[in-house]
Amino acid sequence: MVEAQTTTGWVRGFVRDGIATFRGVPYAAAPTAELRFCPPQPADPWTGVRDATAQAAACPQPALPRLFDKLDPADPTAKFVERYDEDCLTVNVFTPAVDSAARPVMVWLHGGWFSVGSGNEPCYDGSNLCRMGDVVVVTVNHRLGALGFLSLAGCGDDRFESSANHGLLDIVEALKWVRDNIAQFGGDPARVTVFGESGGAAKISMLLGVDQARGLFHRAIVQSGPMLRAVEIERANAAAAALFTELGITSIQELRELPVAAIIDAQNTVLGGPLGGLYGDGPQMAATIDGRIIEQHPFDPAASPPSHGVALLIGSCRDEASMMVATVPGIDSMEPERQVKLLTDNVFGHALDDLVERYAATRPEASVAERFLAAVTDQIRIGGITMAERAVAAGGQAHMYRVDHVPSVYGGKLGAPHTIDVGFAFANTDADAGVTSPNRGLYQDRDVSRLTEEISGAWIAFARNGHPGHAGLQEWPSYRPERRSTMIFGPQSGIVDDPESEEREIWRGRDGGM
């Protein structure tokens, strides 16, 4: 066992293979009872030593089908999250030692858009990253969906005026906790890097537009999830109105008295599924321009002031969309035209319709479905390019990467899919590492060991000194529009200038993003 002192009391964690782990450490008060739908409040202090050896609760959320359910159901480690509860504002801390070494700090924001996911998932275990890079890793749990991003503005009660962004304010509070406590866990509060994938990257994008987050982190890694624009308040208010109608209520007080399961079920219906609002033009419950927490779009039409001075590492996977549609029942047996219709009508919307034909020039042998998925993938890639361009135009520094590793699982049909970068970033790719990963089958090929060292090494170097280059990689220039240097992590990793430039040109006049 190992103990550390925080501003609210002592905590006791455990040591395994040389890494000290503290789970479920509160960074704010439980947002329950009178605090439901309110801004995060300071955590209550405790006496004695609080046990921090067991997994804490994740935020209540709708069930999300697993993409590749290959884990043994008899294996207790196959359960990603043990329980869900509104009392979920906690962090997990992984550190090489509880000392005064002032190591770089890496704060992870989990994926799952703004509605599902957890910092407790085993694939986010920070032990290997700590061991490889002598860094401190923190993973965050925060409010999701209606509990964290439901707009109740205009009700005349100041407690709820910023409710469309309370999940984001939770993350700000977690970063304040890091600032005030991480030195006690061997970390350096002056060298904090936030990193996240998919929805986690979208949250980081939004934090780069939040004035209250200034100075709480110094570098940011945006993995497969650039979000250039926040939700407009009108759209957020419409989602709230639809939720009230679905629940058959007319007041916030009625909402606050409902069982959490009823709220989550209604959210799932209103949004059209667990990840509803990620694409298309329907209701959304996500970070919103409310004039209080977010005053302007973080990266549209330019990089907003809170992002200035934050070094960025931005990238994507070569075939993002293959993973995103893997759960659609029966899609592999459909005709290509029917695949596209199903995906546009029910998942992605029709915003990319005019682009698909233009991909025929660059992919003449591809089916209409393959060209459509290429456009969906490029929506993320182009969003990252736009973010980098606008950051650089504001005097900032950015580096760009792409992951091209194609796992042999499923006959290589996935290409280099969405989420493949997570295992590499955390160095959680070794089947003997003792870390259960939902994507374990993606990391069984010959190149995995090398790519793990290259990618996790780049993330560690970036957290340490603001530049992702290291001895195991070719020299990595910063991103500039005149050259567009991009590190391609693949069979032979190296720098490529302006990869897929013809398809980038297809997007001229459009800025992509989630």
> Which amino acids are annotated catalytic?
198, 320, 418
State the residue for tokens 């858009």: 113
Q: What is the dihedral of CA 337, 340, 345, 350, to 10 degrees?
A: -110
Distance from C-alpha of 348 to C-alpha of 334, rounded to nearest angstrom: 17
Q: Return the closest-CA partner of residue 187 out of 221, 141, 137.
A: 137
Distance from C-alpha of 422 to C-alpha of 131, rounded to nearest angstrom: 17
Distance from C-alpha of 213 to C-alpha of 175, rounded to nearest angstrom: 8
80 within 8 A of 437, measured Cβ to Cβ: no
List the Cα angle 499/195/508 in 5-degree steps. Answer: 30
Distance from C-alpha of 13 to C-alpha of 91, rounded to nearest angstrom: 13
3-state DSSP of 100-133: CCCEEEEEEECCCCCCCCCCCCHHHCCHHHHHHH
Take residue 482 and report the two structure tokens written for it.
Answer: 């005149």
Neighbours of 68 (CB within 10 A): 16
In angstroms, how far is the first alpha carbon of the chain from the final one?
A: 43
DSSP string, 394-441: TT--EEEEEE----SGGGGTT-SBTTHHHHHHHT---TTSS---TTGG
Alpha-helix runs per DSSP H in 274-364? 320-324, 336-343, 353-356
Residue burial 478-507, b: 16+ Cβ < 10 Å; e: rest: bbeeeebbbbbbbeebebeeebbeebbebb
State the residue for tokens 């455990």: 14
Distance from C-alpha of 138 to C-alpha of 171, rounded to nearest angstrom: 12
66 within 8 A of 112, measured Cβ to Cβ: no
- The residues pairing with 50 across neighbouring beta strands, listed in sequence order, are 11
Q: Return the closest-CA partner of residue 192 out of 309, 104, 93.
A: 104
Distance from C-alpha of 13 to C-alpha of 6, rounded to nearest angstrom: 13
Distance from C-alpha of 80 to C-alpha of 224, rounded to nearest angstrom: 22
